[in-house]
Structure 1
């Protein structure tokens, strides 16, 4: 059976995805899995491009979720939809996030339906960024872009599901696939954990996830034991003064000057109050005030994030930010209040023993012959909510290549080393086969080693 995606990404009754044909044998090596993954690329690449054309923001991924479900049905893979209710909708909207009602997560099991159970996870949401049209299938949803590769993550996991479904009769245990919304600040992973994705029968005993990584060369697989990504929390500061005419500053309490002092004062926390060997970041990313050139406004707002590799470090930053904000505002006769995001992200911790196991069984998955050790990054990742509960490993899949060309596109060379969250980010589609292969290989080896 084949699945053809229509012009708007909806499924039509003809098919492009080959339905599962059972095999009574499992691939034994990564090279074997790699060869099988190549068979999925003919439909997987167009599917990923379709997701890229129609990106959706956190908790609004209705079409994306429907596309994934359509392919699962074509593969005869049972699934449940409607996961990840947005219980923080009002709070997220108040902070400027364009969030929807949620219930766009999908869960599917392949295997016996009995223990042991291993989980594979992908995120599916996009970002509020206007894409630079560098590829023929650039975003058609204005102001929205898959600038972090979640379209690729969703596709890679779907390819692994297709590959493994064809060999389901030989699988001893259960492989749980989850497509999770709202990674970009909405804590969709936390919502799915709260709704029981780890504890439903059979309960999950280990979990794996991966992220395309423009900071490593194409083909490299990398990670580290312990904290790989930071704990993060969003703050919003409201500064209240007394407005008036710009020609009469002595008669006002200027919240803009106070906001400027707040921003500069916050930078001293990481620079002068934390151990230089303990990573800590305080970033002010939004400052808003005023509507007229000749009016000093009555208020200003400052927004940003704090980041640490430990929850303890995050709490220290939280306390100091609150104190510094009050004092800096008061120095300019203004008042200040601060609110925090409804869900702080924990650090993403790779289980040390499981990570060493990955380095043993998946060394040849990396073009270097080793799962490389990378430095921690201060980015946040809500796979951390899963890693808090079960032994987990989060891997980086190198996609960096300065002169990559679409095999069926124009002749222009593309730079796939450009950072994520950039309008110029381009996914190197050569990473898809490695993602499908590694998802499949880790799940099969983990079950075999039980």
Structure 2
């Protein structure tokens, strides 16, 4: 296709996205009012299936108890081998009590879409609607993945892949986006290569010998040992991780003792490790285990260490990111496409990118003057709904543009 044809295609998508925006906003508000936690998204699944069926798009046989897979077949003529592009949205919510004051706040106690998955789902439904009305220009097929359980390890991506999702439908590329209030609404931000961190959960138990706090010399104090362990662990980033390699190690919880005059016999700690490099990740795992145990031993205590490996590094394929970047500039304009910094958050979309080339970007949902609490995973997260139009349009145009290439 020539540039003029892509320009016409982008205009058609903009018109369609603008026209159905009110409908997609209504979908988003319904999803926001009825959030469901990871692996429990049964009503959400039924809602997605019903909406797609209304478009004449039948869901594929399920690969998990929740979530929806659908295949939208284009009617345009491909110049070469017919291809499939996959678009993914996550559908689960978080265990948070909403504190916003909208008339569409969550109706479920201690459950909220505080990470934008209601937005992601509504945008992919909107993209399905847009593309369904442009089958004549769709020179291939679009695999719609409404994935459960992104928020809770082991996540929904890996089980779907293990169940044969990518082998069955064989997409040649996969794309997704995530709401970010730090990026201005109407814009997107992209990053080539390693974009999001591997995230591992850290669990430590220090066993000592409790006793009266007035006679600490008769105890083996696990609280003192824990304090030194926390301090010692900080050297793993400053002295083990190379200065040019991003890494984070945070002990976020410490529990032990229940009285002012009793030294406890046990202390537990929890934390997180974030890395952007798999070799460094493995090295830090080894050093973490050794540091904890050796420092505990120096205080005559014993340590149990558990490292639960979470999602891997999210690596955006450079070529696919270039394709998405160019499509975004054509659709949104140069001034609304930005270079993103690397992020230490984690995403199970990383599993798809290990098996299929693709890219994952930040979708701006922030406004000038947004409240300080408008943050991801916050009970007052409040994305600008007009980002729905940007997001569904971007997904739609990218799919059309990629399949026409």
TM > 0.5 fold call: yes
The superposition leaves residues 197-238 of structure 1 with CA deviations (integer Å, 9 ceiling, x where unpaired) of 1111x4111000001111111211111111111122112112
Partner of 2:249: 282
Q: Using a 3 Å threshold, how does the CA distance of structure 1 residues 260 and 50 change in structure 2: closer, same or farther?
A: farther
1:416-431 counterparts in 2 under 5 A?
Answer: 418-431=374-387
Query: In 2, are the aligned partners of 1:416 and 1:426 still within 8 Å (CA)?
Result: no
1:352 Cα deviation after fit: 0.8
Task: Kindly indicate whether residue 175 of structure 2 is the aligned counterpart of residue 208 of structure 1.
Answer: yes
Task: Kindly indicate whether residue 143 of structure 2 is the aligned counterpart of residue 181 of structure 1.
Answer: no
Is there any run of 5+ residues in structure 2 with no aligned partner, and where? Answer: 76-80
Pick aligned residue for 1:106 from 54, 68, 89: 68
TM-score by length of 2: 0.91
* Matches of 2:26 and 2:111, distance apart in 1: 19
* Matches of 2:295 and 2:66, distance apart in 1: 42
* Matches of 2:73 and 2:7, distance apart in 1: 15
Partner of 1:296: 263
Query: In 2, are the aligned partners of 1:416 and 1:425 still within 8 Å (CA)?
Result: no
Partner of 1:433: 389
TM-score by length of 1: 0.82
1:14-25 counterparts in 2 under 5 A?
Answer: none
* Matches of 2:136 and 2:259, distance apart in 1: 69
Query: In 2, are the aligned partners of 1:214 and 1:417 still within 8 Å (CA)?
Result: no
Partner of 1:11: none
* Matches of 1:49 and 1:248, distance apart in 2: 60
1:67 Cα deviation after fit: 1.6
Query: In 2, are the aligned partners of 1:81 and 1:104 still within 8 Å (CA)?
Result: no
1:172 Cα deviation after fit: 2.5
Task: Kindly indicate whether residue 22 of structure 2 is the aligned counterpart of residue 42 of structure 1.
Answer: yes
Q: Using a 3 Å threshold, how does the CA distance of structure 1 residues 304 and 365 change in structure 2: closer, same or farther?
A: farther
Partner of 1:13: none
Task: Kindly indicate whether residue 61 of structure 2 is the aligned counterpart of residue 124 of structure 1.
Answer: no
Q: Using a 3 Å threshold, how does the CA distance of structure 1 residues 49 and 123 change in structure 2: closer, same or farther?
A: same
Structure with the bigger percentage of helix: 2
Q: Using a 3 Å threshold, how does the CA distance of structure 1 residues 382 and 261 change in structure 2: closer, same or farther?
A: same
* Matches of 1:204 and 1:135, distance apart in 2: 39
Task: Kindly indicate whether residue 386 of structure 2 is the aligned counterpart of residue 386 of structure 1.
Answer: no
The superposition leaves residues 145-164 of structure 1 with CA deviations (integer Å, 9 ceiling, x where unpaired) of 21111110011001111221
Pick aligned residue for 1:445 from 384, 401, 404: 401
1:397 Cα deviation after fit: 1.1
* Matches of 1:230 and 1:213, distance apart in 2: 16
Pick aligned residue for 2:238 from 253, 259, 271: 271
Greater mean alpha carbon deviation, residues 177-186 or residues 137-146: 137-146
Q: Using a 3 Å threshold, how does the CA distance of structure 1 residues 81 and 150 change in structure 2: closer, same or farther?
A: farther
The root-mean-square deviation of aligned C-alpha atoms, in Å, is 2.3
Q: Using a 3 Å threshold, how does the CA distance of structure 1 residues 374 and 262 change in structure 2: closer, same or farther?
A: same
